[in-house]
Structure 1
């Protein structure tokens, strides 16, 4: 039950930060252009710094060796289930073309960076960031291969391949992860003043990410997406049923309880904001991704506490 109340507390905090983002737009302290710049700042600097800092200060080499195999294999299993789930839901609602492809990607990938990391740090403060660093290796490889490929419009598929964007895996977040793993394995420590400075930068990740999410809500036509029943299928199947299924199977396989809690919560994340960015870049169906992000992010305030209650038992 402890994790249930921790998640409730975190989501109350999240709601306040999201509301501040909305207020920021209403009082014109933020604009659509500044939100775009804020997203780049978070993804390219603040988030990588936070991943690096939290990992090296929250885990030892023994911890990493002890959990490496279980986290990696559990992440691969989770994404295998989610890929199949996206395919099944797409077929259930007869979604085709670019809309169906982007919908598949929105079902498979969750908002780990903006919502997952702050939430995991709240419920697993000691080793949660270590699990996240290992998990993100699999997450980024699949996002920049399968995720990016699914957001390509059909007219571009003839001259693109699934592995064409592997080079994009070498991004700031992955650099932060690999540096953190190196520091943990070598048992290196940062000078105190540098460690404190990086910690201060990393601590900005959660509020800025949630303010960004709140701001983006102001530029979405909520009514336009409310009637699309396939989005609610993502909520019920991907964000509730599949995490519970994955959790039950991992229990049968005697995976560590902390890792089960971690994977269960990550599997239940709302749709990833990066899918909308990919769709925009590739000139595919961006609106499909925006609708999925909008509906799933709002309803995760209900589904994530349910998952936390489930994992408590």
Structure 2
């Protein structure tokens, strides 16, 4: 129960962190590009620092085994979400259907999941969260791009216009490899295998180890507050009139927040009968899988001419609902 309480407390703090963004937007203290600049700061600086810092520890074979388990479980989780999403929303308009499926599959694992892991379980478990994030980014730039681009109905006549015959612009192994989260995780794994633990007697850079760690600690502390400020900026800018009348929204929310995370937990419960799954590994995957809709949904909607205005509302509603649903899902291992 303690984990659930900590999760409720942490999500509540995150919710309050949105208020500065709302206030700044309503009081016209931010420019149109301010939110994007903050997002870039998190994506390219703060989040890589958070990931890299989690790997600066002594090598441990048990951690390595857990990393392998998390990777396998994260792939299984994404397969479950993808299959469910592709089976749903078949009657929705093309542009809307794509983003509903995207929103169902992709969670805000990096901007919200990882800071929550640190707050609830501790910084030492961020190494597992970063592995989940590797799967997320690989899935995002392959399956995510495919969902947004394949068999597009450009003119809305219900007929595929042959866009799938064109090159799927955006599906690129290079984009996956060069993603900041992927690069920082790769560098971090090297540090982990070399046992670059700043707290140990031996380190390759004994003079700069403390300095480096303090820099990384300062930068990684920006992830949660800046992510929530960005969300507050978006929340203040959205008109929700008529939004809640669409049934597909509720299907997406139930799948994203409750049904599919619960199914992922059942799979892990079954796997634990045959594998020695650490309880914190299970909780890490569960928290990451139950995170709200990814903020990247809005970016992809804009990139691939889908319904960006609609998906922005989905992201905001999903994040607010996560205050209730994530602690409930976190209770599953305690049942």
Q: Equivalent residue for 2:298?
A: 276
Relative to the length of structure 2, the TM-score reads: 0.87
Residue of structure 1 aligned with 2:257, choices 220, 223, 239: 239
Q: CA deviation at 1:104?
A: 0.8
- 8 A contact 2:104–2:255 mirrored in 1: no
Contact conserved, 2:98 with 2:147, CA < 8 A, in 1?
A: yes
Map of 1:160 onto structure 2: 167
Higher CA-based Rg? 2
What residue in structure 1 maps to residue 81 of structure 2?
A: 82
Deviations 1:87-142 (A, max 9, x none): 12213xx1241221221111100011221111111122153201112112211111
Once the two structures are TM-superposed, the CA of residue 17 in structure 1 deviates from its matched residue by 0.2
Q: How does 1:104-123 map to 2 (within 5 A)?
A: 104-123=101-120
Which range moved further: 132-141 or 147-156? 147-156
- Aligned partners of 1:107 and 1:234 also within 8 Å: yes
Q: How does 1:1-16 map to 2 (within 5 A)?
A: 1-16=1-16
Q: Distance in 2 between matches of 1:60 and 1:216?
A: 41
Counterpart CA distance in 2 for 1:188 and 1:294 is 39
1:280-299 to 2 correspondences below 5 Å: 280-299=302-321
Distance 2:123 2:39 in 1: 27
Unaligned runs of 5+ in 1: none
Structure 1 position 307 matched with structure 2 position 329: yes
What is aligned with 1:101? Answer: 98
Match of 1:185 in 2: 193
Determine helix, strand or coil for the equivalent of 1:149: helix
Answer yes or no: is the 8 Å Cα contact 1:18–1:211 preserved in 2: yes
How far off is 1:311 after superposition?
2.7
Which residue number corresponds to residue 70 of structure 1?
69
Residue matched to 2:225: 207
Count of matched residue pairs:
310
Q: Distance in 2 between matches of 1:40 and 1:88?
A: 34
- Distance, in Å, in 2 between the alignment partners of 1:288 and 1:148 is 18
CA–CA distance in 2 between the matches of 1:288 and 1:152? 18
Residues 232 and 295 in structure 1, CA contact (< 8 A), matched pair in contact too:
no
The 10-residue stretch of structure 1 (148-157 or 220-229) with the greater mean CA deviation from structure 2? 148-157
Per-residue deviation at 1:247?
0.7
Which residue of the partner structure matches residue 60 of structure 2? 61
| Conservation of the 8 A alpha-carbon contact between 1:42 and 1:205 | yes
TM-score w.r.t. length of structure 1: 0.93
Superposed displacement of residue 223, structure 1: 2.3
Q: Which residue of 2 aligns with 1:33?
A: 33
The unaligned stretches of length 5 or more in structure 2 are 155-162, 199-208
| Structure-2 change in CA distance of 1:105 and 1:293 (3 Å) | same
Q: CA RMSD in A?
A: 1.9
Q: Is the 8 A contact 1:46 1:205 kept in 2?
A: yes
Q: Distance in 1 between matches of 2:260 and 2:196?
A: 39
- 2:179 and 2:61 map into 1 onto residues whose CA distance is 27
